Structure 1
Amino acid sequence: MFDRKDLNCIDREYFQVISETCYHITLKSKNTGHTWDITSTENPYGKSIVISHKHNDMDPFHIQPRVHPRSIQEAQDMIKAHDIWQLGKD
């Protein structure tokens, strides 16, 4: 579950916030236009964050394999690194 501190750390200069709840945040990168779905799930070992993303609004979300952030800040850092990589491809 995301708390107020998690939600307050969202970089609103970098992302457009599409939606935010205590379990689910949807962000859109202002740099690439990619949409990111960040979900908090609970398991017997603690909190787990799952990130999915899509390149266009019409595309379905796909899970980012090998991406396992432990916090919203870490998720944002991973997304920003992905944006740098994506922008370098174009």
Structure 2
Amino acid sequence: MFGREDLECLDLGYFEIIYMDDRDVTIMSRNTRHMWYIHNPEYPLMGSCIIFHKHKVSHPCHQHGRSNTLRQAVWSIKRHDKWQMGGRK
């Protein structure tokens, strides 16, 4: 479950928040316009996050990866954006 402190790592200058509750966060990167869905099922361990990603709203999601915390998921998303904007070599 995401706590208040977890949700505070979402930079509103960097992300547009589409949806947010204690288990799910859907955001859009203002840099790449990619959509990200982060789910916290708390199974098998508390704090596990599954990161899903899609390039356009009309595209289906695919699993991007996992992280232990929402903060780590945000770091992974920003790293992906940096790679994406750098020209996908």
TM-score computed with the length of structure 1 as normaliser: 0.90
Q: What corresponds to 1:18 in structure 2?
A: 18
TM-superposed CA distance for 1:68, in Å, is: 2.4
TM-score computed with the length of structure 2 as normaliser: 0.91
The one-letter code of the counterpart of 1:18 is I
Q: Distance in 2 between matches of 1:77 and 1:30?
A: 15
Count matched residues: 88
Q: What corresponds to 1:58 in structure 2?
A: 58
Q: Any gaps of 5 or more consecutive residues in structure 2? A: none
Percent of matched pairs sharing the same residue:
39
Root-mean-square deviation over aligned CA pairs: 1.3
1:32 aligns with 2:25: no
| Secondary structure at the counterpart of residue 80 of structure 2 | helix
TM-superposed CA distance for 1:5, in Å, is: 1.1
TM-superposed CA distance for 1:81, in Å, is: 0.5
Q: What corresponds to 2:77 in structure 1?
A: 79
The one-letter code of the counterpart of 1:80 is K
Judge which range, 42-51 or 29-38, deviates more: 42-51
TM-superposed CA distance for 1:46, in Å, is: 2.8
Q: What corresponds to 1:4 in structure 2?
A: 4
